[in-house]
């Protein structure tokens, strides 16, 4: 199927043999989940689920099926994320459409949702929520669906990202959700106050970008990844400006890099937040900082 390897003729390529070859090829190239990658791409090429790959493992693939798979395999070889190839990614039990205009939703970001829901449980029936840097809309849509009586607003600087987010909201039935374009709080009405503000801002250091995996640095939007020499340029603005848009007792919850916990906590404390908490992701790494702003609205 590729140059430099002796391969059987096309009519001998069964599902099992394609998966065996593709898994070995991805593994040789350092893929993190070679078998899963091979299976997901073959499912996409054939229009079937993973169970069908087992049931029909000895079925030879037709030439057009091999051609479809080969094209997908080559794109994945070049580093294109599986989520972009499939056009979707699951987040918090829902399937979101994604493409190169937005970051691929990650399980670690589900922790941001969990923290946001837990820290606003007292206001769960009528919570006013603002999600900044919304990207695919995964956090905003999830908050709107988990608590349908809440009113959620979401913004992003990228018009392309907002197009993706609006589509996800429509498909997933997030009716209490509105989107608008803004650079953090620029564009948010001066008199708007929220009980909860969430954000997954860019937090990668400028010099760290070249060290990231190729499927991240080569395909995901740089605008949503990097934020200055220490990765905290946008975070500083966010934490400093948030109190002006929080109702008294409102909560700010942000995702951050695993090595930024001390710095982000310090930003919260210096700005007057109390009950500042840090939460780890599913891998045991620091991922979310949240706090309550007790001051007068608009401080």
User: Across residues 60-66, what is the average pLDDT?
Assistant: 93
The secondary structure of the chain as a DSSP string is: --TTS----GGG-BHHHHHHHHHHHHHHTT-SSHHHHHHHHHHHHHT--HHHHHHTTTPBPPHHHHHHHHHHHHHHHTT--HHHHHTEEEETTEEEE--TTSPPP-HHHHHHHHHHHHHTGGGTTS-EEEEES-TTSHHHHHHHHHSTTSEEEEEES-HHHHHHHHHHHHHTT-TTEEEEE-BTTBTS-TT--EEEEEE----B-GGGGGGS-HHHHTTS-GGGTB-STTS-HHHHHHHHHGGGGEEEEEEEEEE--TT-HHHHHHHHHHTT-EEEEEEE-TTS-EEEEEEEE-S-TT-
Would you say residue 236 has pLDDT above 60? yes
**Arithmetic mean of pLDDT, 49-71:** 93
**What local confidence, expressed as pLDDT, does residue 11 receive?**
56
24-52 pLDDT tens trace: 999 988 888 899 999 999 999 999 999 99
pLDDT at 262 over 50: yes
Mean pLDDT of the chain: 92
Is residue 297 very low, low, confident or very high in pLDDT (cuts 50, 70, 90)? very low
Q: What are the structural domains of the chain?
A: 10-78 (1.10.8.10), 92-293 (3.40.50.150)
């Amino acid at each position: 199927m590729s140059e430099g390897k002796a391969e059987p003729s096309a009519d001998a390529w069964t599902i099992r043999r394609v998966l065996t070859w593709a898994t070995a090829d991805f593994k040789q190239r350092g893929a993190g989940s070679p078998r899963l990658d091979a299976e997901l791409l073959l499912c996409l090429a054939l229009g079937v689920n993973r169970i069908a790959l087992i049931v029909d493992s000895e079925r030879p693939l037709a030439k057009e099926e091999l051609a479809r798979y080969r094209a997908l395999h080559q794109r994945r070889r070049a580093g294109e994320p599986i989520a972009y190839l499939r056009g979707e990614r699951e987040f918090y039990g829902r399937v979101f459409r994604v493409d190169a205009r937005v970051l691929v939703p990650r399980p670690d970001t589900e922790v941001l949702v969990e923290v946001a829901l837990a820290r606003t449980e007292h206001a769960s029936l009528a919570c006013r929520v603002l999600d900044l840097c919304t990207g695919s809309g995964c956090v905003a849509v999830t908050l709107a669906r988990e608590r349908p009586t809440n009113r959620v607003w979401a913004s992003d600087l990228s018009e392309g990202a907002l197009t993706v987010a609006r589509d996800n909201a429509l498909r997933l039935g997030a009716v209490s959700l509105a989107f608008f374009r803004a650079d953090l709080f620029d564009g948010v009405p001066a008199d708007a106050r929220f009980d909860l503000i969430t954000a997954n801002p860019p937090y990668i250091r400028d010099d760290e970008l070249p060290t990231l995996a190729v499927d991240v640095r080569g395909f995901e939007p740089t605008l949503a990844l990097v934020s200055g020499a220490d990765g905290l340029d946008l975070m500083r603005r966010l934490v400093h400006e948030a109190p002006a848009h929080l109702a008294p007792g409102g909560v700010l919850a942000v995702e951050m890099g695993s090595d930024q916990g001390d710095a982000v906590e310090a930003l919260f404390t210096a700005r007057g937040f109390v009950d500042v908490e840090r939460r780890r992701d599913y891998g045991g790494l620091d991922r979310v900082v949240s706090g309550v702003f007790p001051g007068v609205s608009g401080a």
